Amino acid sequence: MSKTHLGHTARKRFGQNFLFDEYVIDQIVSAIKPENGQNLVEIGPGLGALTEPVAEIVDKLNVVELDRDLAKRLREHPFIQNKLNVIEQDALKFDFSNLIDPITHPSHKLRVFGNLPYNISTPLMFHLFSFSDCIDDMHFMLQLEVVKRLCATHNDSLYGKLSVMSQYYCSATPVVMVPPSAFKPAPKVESAVVRLVPHARPPVELHDISSLSLVVGSAFNQRRKTIRNSLKKLIDETSLNHLDIDAERRAQTLSLKEFSAIANYVYEKNS
């Protein structure tokens, strides 16, 4: 299949697979439900498949695009250029809190969406979680497997670090399934759009997010081992017993609440 769409040759290093199926595009825009006056931001607008229908509905849209040629096309777009705030930057490094106006609209949180480059989707999720206080909701097209990881709970086969951290920050729901044929060039895998809504209040009491990240990362790095072994540098068996957690269990069986109890223990031990 041709890699050129609307006169632009897709760049693999930027994870460019452009949506062109109008039915799928309509479904995604309906799931996002953009409204005028909202603080909307699209990551990776590309050739405008989602940007154009959203900009038809609203007066202002922030877009973050790394590809210099695509950013230029958007700044010169014949119909919607006046509505777009084009931010030519790496979304992985972008400070999303800059889009909140602390003086005039301090409570005007962000609604973030995008058909994300699959090669950076997991680090981008972690980057966005760190701005969850500034975000009302997010809608992202991702590889179906990543959507399943985001939505997995303990004992699911795809449950892992991304699932636990996602549960801490947000509720996650798959909203649209998308076949490879909806893109140009077509990716090799199925995709889906996920809706992520940051919790108003954290679902568990946690002293420190980096302790949770350390514990969950260590447990899943050796996911086949019992936590007695995988977490032995962080917590001993007696302390696990005090927390009412059996040291014979494996990472995949631990809930967010149990991981948080271990993380709080680790934090207290080291402070």
Q: How many CB atoms lie within 10 A of CB 242?
A: 12
- Residue 117 interacts with ligand SAM (CB under 6 A): yes or no: yes
Interface with ligand SAM (CB under 6 A), residue from 29, 32, 41, 50: 50
Interface with ligand SAM (CB under 6 A), residue from 38, 39, 115, 191: 115
Give the footprint of ligand SAM on residues 219-238 (CB under 6 A).
none
The residue type at 118 = Y
Give the footprint of ligand SAM on residues 118-137 (CB under 6 A).
120
Question: Strand, coil or helix: what is 9?
Answer: strand
CB of 113 to ligand SAM, least distance (A): 9
Q: Which is nearer to ligand SAM, 186 or 243 (CB)?
A: 186
The encoded tokens of residue 156 equal 């699911």
Q: Among the residues of 36-193, which ranges form H helices?
A: 51-57, 68-75, 121-129, 144-151, 161-169
- Residue 260 interacts with ligand SAM (CB under 6 A): yes or no: no
Q: Which is nearer to ligand SAM, 43 or 227 (CB)?
A: 43
Interface with ligand SAM (CB under 6 A), residue from 57, 58, 80, 92: 92
Q: Which is nearer to ligand SAM, 16 or 132 (CB)?
A: 16
Contacts for 269 with CB less than 8 Å, ≥ 6 apart: 235
Going across the sheet that includes 135-143, the strands are: 84-87, 61-64, 39-43, 110-115, 135-143, 191-198, 170-178
Interface with ligand SAM (CB under 6 A), residue from 91, 178, 192, 235: 91
